[in-house]
């Protein structure tokens, strides 16, 4: 019998959202709820695992870690892209890597939830109300007539543009490869450069893949080009923004606020300033964490394992 371990099942729902019993008796499955950051503890937890199912990029599977897991034969990740898996090391060790499909609707919905909550100070006002504090404290930012700057106009960025127009916002967009045709299709104004977008936008939202070219795209210089008092939304990848430069801009007031769902280190350290800044609205990487998406992830993970057992792997990342 093969052993399958599901990592980072924070909500303790993975085993109830798919038919893992269909893999028995060939495979027995267990789920671990607590994140394991320590190398030794992780290797010990996975020492007897033939199959590991990981949730997005929560737990990196590096070459060093893979070298200490000689039993590992199959990795299944939610989604079809995972920068936390060393694919070259997997090829070298003969470890199969498969993925699942993923819906763009949950991250889109969360992005708008964060944007609205940040602009209208919903969390602070709710906390004051629940604590019998002041009745109304903040002057919110209305969206109608404001400009939303989208950095990246792919599937999620394009949907962001459509929703923004429903709110009566002006939409502009930029990325290195964005075409005028794609911008027009989404109802967005194509900006000639990143500085032009930053100088124009009241709210900036990031929707790019993290790569060597996009890492720290918003550095101190770029953040300084934003409109004074602008808002920044990042539900894509933390590495798109220089975190220390962003913290400095938030402290100085150059940025009026930031709504964040992604961080350089996850879980975010308990003493991290992003947990304390009053003009930061942060959530613990919830973009994809929704019921239908999770059912898709885990059901397709079961399919991947069943197909691999038949020597017909599905959705290979290699």
pLDDT in tens, 3-55: 999 999 999 999 999 999 999 999 999 999 999 999 999 999 999 999 999 99
Domain that holds residue 131: 105-282
Q: 119 and 148: one domain?
A: yes
Q: What is the pLDDT of residue 15?
A: 98
Summarised one tens digit per residue, pLDDT across range 80-126 is 999 999 999 999 999 999 999 999 999 999 999 999 999 999 999 99
Question: Does residue 316 lie within any of the structural domains?
Answer: no
Tell me the pLDDT band of 58, cut-offs 50, 70 and 90. very high
Based on the domain organization, do 123 and 27 belong to the same domain? Answer: no
- How many angstroms separate the first and last alpha carbons of the chain? 25
- pTM of the shown model: 0.93
Q: 275 is written with which tokens?
A: 């947990």
Q: Is residue 317 part of a domain?
A: no
Task: Tell me the backbone φ, ψ of residue 125, rounded to 5 degrees.
Answer: -70, -40
Asked if residue 258 is part of any domain, the answer here is yes
Same domain, 123 and 226: yes
Q: Give per-residue pLDDT as tens, 213-266.
A: 999 999 999 999 999 999 999 999 999 999 999 999 999 999 999 999 999 999
Kindly give, in sequence order, each residue whose CB lies less than 8 Å from that of residue 159, ignoring residues fewer than 6 positions away: 104, 108
Please indicate, yes or no, whether residues 180 and 227 belong to a single structural domain of this protein.
Answer: yes
Judged against a pLDDT cut of 90, whether residue 160 lies above it is answered with yes
The CATH number assigned to the domain holding 159 equals 3.40.50.720
154 and 278 part of one domain: yes
| Residues with active-site annotation | 237, 266, 285
pLDDT of residue 113: 98
| pLDDT at residue 313, rounded to an integer | 87
Within a domain: 318: no
Looking at the fold, whether 263 and 207 belong to one and the same domain comes out as yes
Residues 193 and 69 occupy one common structural domain: no
Residue 121 to residues 114, 137, 223, Cα–Cα distance (Å): 10, 9, 22
Q: Percentage of residues in the chain with pLDDT exceeding 70?
A: 100
User: Are residue 139 and residue 251 in the same domain, yes or no?
Assistant: yes
**Number of domains forming the structure of the chain:** 2
Specify whether the CB–CB gap between 180 and 231 falls below 8 A. no
With 90 as the cut, is the pLDDT of residue 167 above it? yes
């Amino acid at each position: 019998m093969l052993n399958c371990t599901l990592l980072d099942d924070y909500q303790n729902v993975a085993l109830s959202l798919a038919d893992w019993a269909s893999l028995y008796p060939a495979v027995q499955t267990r789920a671990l709820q607590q994140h394991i950051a320590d190398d030794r503890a992780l290797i010990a937890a996975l020492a007897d695992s033939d199959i590991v199912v990981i949730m997005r990029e929560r737990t990196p599977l590096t070459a060093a870690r893979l070298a200490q897991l000689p039993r590992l034969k199959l990795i299944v990740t939610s989604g079809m892209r995972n920068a936390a898996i060393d694919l070259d090391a997997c090829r070298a060790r003969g470890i199969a890597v498969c993925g699942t499909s993923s819906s763009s609707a949950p991250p889109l919905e969360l992005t708008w939830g964060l944007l609205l909550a940040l602009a209208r100070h919903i969390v602070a006002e709710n906390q004051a109300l629940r604590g019998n504090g002041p009745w109304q404290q903040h002057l919110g930012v209305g969206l109608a007539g404001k400009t939303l700057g989208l950095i990246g106009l792919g599937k999620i960025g394009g949907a962001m543009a459509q929703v923004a127009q429903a709110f009566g916002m002006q939409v502009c967009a930029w990325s290195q490869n964005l075409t005028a045709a794609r911008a027009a299709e989404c109802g967005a104004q194509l900006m000639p450069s990143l500085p032009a977008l930053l100088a124009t936008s009241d709210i900036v939202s990031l929707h790019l893949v993290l790569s060597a070219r996009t890492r720290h795209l918003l550095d101190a210089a770029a953040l300084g080009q934003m409109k004074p008092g602008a808002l920044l939304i990042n539900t894509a990848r933390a590495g798109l923004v220089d975190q220390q430069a962003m913290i400095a801009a938030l402290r100085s007031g150059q940025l009026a606020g930031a709504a964040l769902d992604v961080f350089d280190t996850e879980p975010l350290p308990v003493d991290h300033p992003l947990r304390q800044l009053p003009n930061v609205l942060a959530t613990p990487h919830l973009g994809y964490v929704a019921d239908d998406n999770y059912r898709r992830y885990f059901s397709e993970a079961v399919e991947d394992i069943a197909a691999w057992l038949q020597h017909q792997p599905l959705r290979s990342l290699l």
